[in-house]
């Protein structure tokens, strides 16, 4: 049985993952409208992955005798300025998610819930990969600068950059 504090913290993370999925979906739509086909496909996929992260939490909470709560979300932004700004925002958001996961891990340690601590290690590993991927993308973007040909290739190749999850 989950302790109340752990259940609440896990439910908070459901919201974070759901929000992430919405943010990346909104980014995907923005990129699609701008004709950035590869970038939009990458972001649609990323949005799906966040939904999967959320579902994994839903299943876990319910399996452990808790109640996974689906709550209201903030509307994500609909404008992202430029693809450079978009990926900077994505990186910052992933850093925020990592911080949330770390706080959650801390709750499980304080509550001596080692099963949930163990369950969360998947998220810890996932965040390392996601941050690394976002950093790789930012590095590539800074190499491109304002070169249109570079953007063309980046948009074509980005779909091969993924996190295994
Ligand atoms: Fe992109 O992060 Fe979920 O966990």
Decide whether any atom of ligand 1 lies within 6 Å of the 53 Cβ: yes
| Residue 101 in tokens | 């996961």
Q: How far is the CA of 16 from the centre of ligand 1 (A)?
A: 8
DSSP 8-state code for residue 159 = G
Q: Helix, strand, coil: what percent of the chain each, to 5?
A: 80, 0, 20
Q: Mean per-residue pLDDT for 113-122?
A: 98
pLDDT given at position 159: 81
Q: Please give the angle made by the CA atoms of 107, 117 and 136, to the nearest 5 degrees.
A: 95
Where do the structural domains in the chain lie, given as residue ranges? 4-159
pLDDT over 80 (residue 113): yes
Decide whether any atom of ligand 1 lies within 6 Å of the 130 Cβ: yes
Which CATH code, of 3.30.300.30, 1.20.1260.10, 3.40.50.720, 1.20.120.330, is assigned to 4-159?
1.20.1260.10
Decide whether any atom of ligand 1 lies within 6 Å of the 126 Cβ: yes
Give the position, in ligand 1's atom list, of the atom nearest the Cα of 17: 3
Tens of pLDDT, residues 54-78: 999 999 999 999 999 999 999 999 9
Decide whether any atom of ligand 1 lies within 6 Å of the 18 Cβ: no
Tens of pLDDT, residues 3-30: 999 999 999 999 999 999 999 999 999 9
Q: How far is the CA of 95 from the centre of ligand 1 (A)?
A: 10
Number of H helices, E strands in the chain: 5, 0
């Amino acid at each position: 049985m989950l302790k109340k504090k752990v259940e609440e913290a896990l439910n908070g993370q459901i919201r974070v993952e759901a929000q992430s999925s919405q943010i990346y979906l909104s980014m995907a739509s923005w990129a699609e409208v701008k004709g950035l086909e590869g970038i939009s496909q990458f972001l649609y996929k990323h949005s799906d992955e966040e939904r999967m992260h959320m579902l994994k939490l839903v299943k876990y909470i319910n399996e452990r005798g808790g109640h996974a709560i689906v709550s209201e979300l903030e509307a994500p932004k609909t404008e992202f300025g430029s693809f450079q700004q978009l990926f900077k925002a994505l990186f910052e958001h992933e850093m925020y998610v990592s911080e949330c996961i770390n706080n959650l891990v801390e709750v499980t340690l304080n509550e001596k819930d080692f099963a949930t601590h163990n369950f969360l290690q998947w998220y810890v590993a996932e965040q390392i990969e996601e941050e690394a991927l976002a950093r790789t993308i930012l590095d590539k973007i800074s190499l491109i600068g304002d070169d249109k040909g570079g953007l063309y290739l980046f948009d074509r190749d980005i779909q091969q950059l993924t996190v295994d999850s």
